[in-house]
Structure 1
Amino acid sequence: MCLSAFYIGKGDKTHKTGVYRGCFARRPDVRDQCEYFREQNQQENVNVVSCLPCTEARCNVHLFDDKGLPKNSVTKNASSVLLTFVINILIVSISLLYRS
């Protein structure tokens, strides 16, 4: 179970403000990894502003704005489509160069 979260530290934990990305072992009693993460950090004097579950390791595709809210993140699928498009343009350009 993996997630990306933005949290704000309070009191003696203000230095803990920022983005958390991580995974933990799947447990049969946990249905929502973000809710579980919030519960685990409830006593740690941090406020979980936002949390996004994911299946990719470490969830590096999720972005957050300055307030800790999720931004539109480029997903792996969108990245793959864009990369394929760029490669196709390069192939066509190279083949046109060799024709001239």
Structure 2
Amino acid sequence: MDFSGLSSAEQAHVNKLVEKRQFQGFLTMYGKLVEKCFNTCCNDFTSKTLSSKEETCVSNCAEKFMKHSERVSARFAEMNAEVTSGQKNVSG
């Protein structure tokens, strides 16, 4: 996106909006991670602490979730680069 036509105040406003949106995305992803791993791994409520089996499950769940998110982000970046490259070729 080219924001060069905006004033510095407008650019700062747009940057704040982008940062807010990114933070909201992070919180959404974190919430999904917590919900998924809790529902999958935590099923014994007779103790205040996690059992070793639950700890292992939560650790594996979080690791898989993060790897999946990284893979999706990488693929999105690849697709975005292809689209951007295609637009430059069409307009250039």
User: TM-score per shorter chain, which class?
Assistant: 0.3 to 0.5
Relative to the length of structure 2, the TM-score reads: 0.36
Q: Which has the higher contact order (CA 8 A, sep 6+)?
A: 1
Q: Tell me the TM-score normalised to structure 1 length.
A: 0.34
Which structure carries more helix by proportion?
A: 2
Query: Which structure has greater strand proportion?
Result: 1
